[in-house]
Amino acid sequence: MKKQMIFAQFFKNNGLLMGSLLIGLVGFWVIVLVVLPQLSMLDYSFRYNLPPADLGGPKDVYTLHNYKHLLYGAEGSEGTYNTVDLMVFVRTIIAAMLVTIANILMCYPLAYYLGQSKGSGFVRLLVVLLIIPYWINEILRAFALRIIFGDSGLINEVLMLTHLTSEPIDFIRQDIALYAGLGYAYILLMLFPMYNVIESLDRNQIEAARDMGASWVRIHRRIVIPHAKPGIASGATMVFMLSAGALAAPQVLGGPSSLWFTQLVYQWFNDSLNWQQGAAYAMVLLVSTIVIVIGLMRVFKVNMGDIGK
């Protein structure tokens, strides 16, 4: 009853043609592109990987098999956990969190500096310089780091030239290149939301606090950080979700023995052609990252509406 009222009002405000166009486009996006694909992926993840002939037959039933595989490994090895895949999963989540924290620490001083020194030409130049790497392909950015971190890369050459090391350090095998690459890939998604909120902070508040004798640390803790919280939360959410779901950087920069969870998904999907298993792994990644983000938002008391500002 109420719903009909809303729709009637909506069409009255927009006219029949425009109203249905709007509803149609939004409906197509939300239902056909977002909700239904996720649901069908969920559906897939509970099914066996069957040859086409068996589809819809008596064997085509729901199962927890794909999720069990992540926990216990292949069939027949019940009782022992699938430590390889689980370790990859835990490592991915923890590393993504560390990358997020590192990005917050790196970006906060710059965001504060850019946000509080208004309008000077130098600051504008810095912002333009920041935009440039943002639009370079993700693959190319990873490739650039690979050139630098390689066995005969720039860093190793410099280290050897200054006799800090006598042999090249294998940055790639030690995953240093991977973490540098992940931190590099999404750092600007942290910086810009932070910069936007700090820019809106009234400078007088800081002046007032300073006049009243507040220390430098106290000003940041009591004034700047509380004001910047939505921006930090927005940036942290993006960086965490994107680095946990990153595929390009681990593929290009990851060592031969270490995997990222998305690479497992990729392998199931494209190498083993087991879509059901891949869907289950992707589902685990999606649900766990969302749960972590929502949990942290509760802890830090941030709203979903702040994201993307």
Q: What does 228-262 look like in DSSP terms, one character per residue?
A: HHHHHHHHHHHHHHHHHT--HHHHHHS-SS---HH
At 10, which helix (H) or strand (E)? helix 2-14
In angstroms, the CA 47 to CA 62 distance is 5
Report the residue number, 148 or 201, with the smaller CB distance to other proteins.
148
Q: Which of residues 124-183 bind other proteins (CB under 8 A)?
A: 124, 126, 128-133, 135-148, 150, 152-154, 157-158
Window of 78-86, 164-172, 203-211, 235-243 that interacts with other proteins by CB under 8 A: 235-243
- Using CA atoms, how far residue 233 sits from 4, 96, 151, 230, 285, in Å, is 37, 15, 37, 5, 20
If the CB atoms of residues 23 and 225 are measured against other proteins, the closer one turns out to be 23
C-beta closer to other proteins: residue 83 or 135 = 135
Examine residue 255 and tell whether it contacts other proteins (CB under 8 A). no
**Residue 110 near other proteins by CB under 8 A:** yes
- How many residues appear in the chain? 309
Scanning residues 28 to 47, which ones bind other proteins (CB under 8 A)?
28-30, 33-34, 36-38, 40-41, 44
Q: State how far the Cα of 279 lies from the Cα of 66, in Å rounded to an integer.
A: 9
Using the contact rule CB under 8 A, the part of the chain among 65-73, 123-131, 166-174, 219-227 near other proteins is 123-131
Q: By CB under 8 A, what part of segment 36-95 binds other proteins?
A: 36-38, 40-41, 44, 55
- 282 counts as binding other proteins under rule CB under 8 A: yes
| Distance separating alpha carbons of residues 223 and 74, to the nearest angstrom | 54
The 10 Å CB-count burial string (b at 16+, else e) for 158-194 is ebeeeeeeeeebebbeebbbbbbbbbbbbbbbbbbbb
Residue span binding other proteins (CB under 8 A) among the ranges 60-68, 83-91, 108-116, 217-225:
108-116
By beta-carbon proximity to other proteins, the closer residue of 54 and 78 is 54
